[in-house]
A and B are shown apart, each in its own frame.
Chain A
Amino acid sequence: MTSGNGTQHGDWDQRREQLSAYLDGELADGERKVLEAHLVGCAECQRELAQLRHVRKLLRALPTPALPRSFTLPVQQPAPARLATPPVRRGGRLARATQWTGGVAASVGLLLILGSALMSGSIGPSGAGSGYAPSASSSQRTSNGAEASSTTTHAPSHVGVQGSATPTPQPSSSSSDMPGVTPSITPDVTPSQIARTPTEPPQFGNENTTVSASTTLGLTGAGLAGGGALLFVGGSIGRRRRR
């Protein structure tokens, strides 16, 4: 860039600004036509323009960086009222389940005790049925207990984590800092869904099933008495819970 060029082009900063804006299509029509006319006969400006264009191409060629994560905000959930509801429903559900299992266990236990008292090798249908019922009943109760507790665990987490948010621990960015986040969003989990989640109420269709004689004969009187006693205790607990 000689002084001669400086004279020819005036202020080179200004000329570069023109060339740079020309590249971006940001010159007014009149200014653009004057510059284009000049460019035809000026190798130095052509070179300058080519280099600026190349720099722009290099920047444009930079790849779009991959996102390290999604920056969506956590969706705040409503519902102190909804959160308060499930325990009541869960309590009712638990009470109903316990009522079922406790009542059946107690009656089956009674039958077992009677059966063990009469145990003399004869086939007692009620005792045989009792031999099956305890495990069904207790496992059903366990199953219900597990379902109930898993509902207890999952229901709040469903409510709290709903949405596609990526919670990001930022000191100043907790959702409670966000004005305008209204609890207008319906939770995904409704009480009726919660009620559907556990397994269906225990089925005791086998209760009256006549068990084979070999099964009955395999049980000792002491074992039946012990099982009956356990079930009786279970039934009592069930009734206490219900109360």
Chain B
Amino acid sequence: MPDDSRGGEERVRSLESGLIARSQKGDTRAFNQLVETHQAGAYALALRMLGDPEAAADVTQDAFFSAFRAIGSFKGVSFRAWLLRIVSNGCYDYWRAQGRRPATSLEAALEDDRDGEAAAQSSDARLPRAMIDPSWDPERVALKAEMIEQIQAALLKLPPEQRLAVILSDIQGMPYDEIARVMNTSLGTVKSRISRARTHLRGLLLRHGELFGGSGRRDGG
């Protein structure tokens, strides 16, 4: 099975390489096949980053136009990483155009980090009352709408770099090296940002006990 899986991945990569080559010659139809493959991930990233469906759609559409214009310069390994970098840049451009600066300054980011630490510390203090119920697995049941909203709201409280890192890791399912390509940074920085984001989110989400189940059973990991 792993061989089949690898063979399948290679076929997909080969097909994608062909589409990229044709796109680089100006073939819009070939590029549109790439769009169809990647649009769900691109839109999901924009939506989780911005929290606004309309803005996310605009950013996604702009990203695909930009990607088509710039595809001649693509010589990378991962088209997905290249594309999601354009999408994430589009999110920053959107904030700039809106006159909003979502904790983009160092000071604000540090302040958010301090808040995150404080939340993490306070969550530690609450641990005995906020144990995880291992019988409740959020990946196996559909989350309720209000839970989705709570998680989205918590994401929007993260500093943008942490938000981007954890979305790429936990929602897009990307490995660290690919995330490093998207964020144009080192593996160590990626590791640190994901860890901080999860710690920060833990503090924010523990305020909603239902997100951690309800049982008082202590989870041993």
Contacts and interface: CB of A to CB of B under 8 A. Distances in A.
A71 B201 CA distance: 31
A188 B214 CA distance: 61
Contact of A68 (B53, B121, B192): B53
B2 interface: no
B148 A63 contact: yes
Interface stretch (B11-19, B74-82, B167-175): B167-175
A67 B198 contact: no
Given A55-B198, A56-B170, A58-B205, A73 B32 contact: yes
Interface of A: 1, 13, 16-17, 19-21, 24, 26, 39, 43, 45-47, 49-65, 67-76, 163-165, 168, 170, 172-173, 177-182, 184-185
Contacts of B205: 55, 58
Contacts of B176: 21, 24, 26
A61 B139 CA distance: 5
B29 A17 contact: no
Contacts of A68: 43, 53-54, 57
A73 B31 contact: yes
Nearest to B67: A73
Interface string B190-221: 01101110110110010000011000001111
A61 B167 CA distance: 12
Contacts of B48: 62
Contact of B62 (A74, A172, A184): A172
Contacts of A45: 221
Interface centre among A58, A75, A173 (most CB of B within 10 A): A58
Interface in B182-196: 191-192, 194-196
A16 B199 contact: yes
SS of B interface (majority): helix
Question: What is the predominant secondary structure among interface residues of chain A facing chain B?
Answer: loop
B61 interface: yes
A65 B47 contact: yes
B221 A49 contact: yes
Contacts of A59: 151, 155, 166-167, 170-171, 201
Q: Which 7 A-B pairs have the closest CB atoms?
A: A180-B26, A46-B221, A59-B170, A20-B195, A61-B138, A72-B32, A173-B65
Nearest to A165: B32
A39 B61 CA distance: 46
Contacts of A17: 191-192, 195
B91 interface: no
Nearest to B142: A63
Contacts of B141: 61
A165 B201 CA distance: 39
B92 interface: no
A227 to B, nearest CB: 56
Nearest to A180: B26
B199 to A, nearest CB: 6
